[in-house]
Amino acid sequence: MLLRVGELAKKSGLTVRTLHHYDAIGLLTPSARADPRTRCRPNRN
């Protein structure tokens, strides 16, 4: 199951902006993109 960046932000306690920053610097990259504006990551519970 993939999470949208907003869902991951809620579950992790980070902000969407922080997750986007991590993506920009290569620290955390999306597993997939539903479209050019959407980043998705696996749900690892």
Mean pLDDT by 10 residues, the chain (45 residues): 87 95 90 66 66
Q: Report the pLDDT value the prediction gives residue 35, as an integer from 0 to 100.
A: 63
Q: Are strands 40-42 and 2-4 parallel, antiparallel or unpaired?
A: antiparallel
Domains in the chain, please, with CATH?
2-42 (1.10.1660.10)
- Quote the CA–CA distance of 45 and 34 in Å, as a whole number: 21
Give pTM, 2 decimals.
0.68
Q: Report the pLDDT value the prediction gives residue 30, as an integer from 0 to 100.
A: 79
- Quote the CA–CA distance of 10 and 36 in Å, as a whole number: 22
